[in-house]
Amino acid sequence: MSSPNTEEFVPRGTWVIVLIFVALLIVIWGSVYWMLLQYGPTV
């Protein structure tokens, strides 16, 4: 039996990895978007 005071295990390391992954995606897509803006409309 589990007592009501037991906390659920929260994998903090997983959240750190997820945050780093999301930050890398934002940086990569931001740089791609910046390059597209620098080239300007070519069509």
Using a cut of 0.85, tell me whether the model's pTM lies above it.
no
CA distances from 31 to 4, 22, 39, 42 (A): 48, 14, 12, 18
**Tell me, what's the pLDDT at 8?**
75
- Distance of alpha carbon 38 from alpha carbon 1, whole angstroms: 62
Average pLDDT over all residues of the chain = 84
| pLDDT single digits (tens) 27-40 | 999 999 999 999 87
Confidence of residue 11 (pLDDT cuts 50, 70, 90): confident
The residue to which tokens 């620098």 are assigned: 38
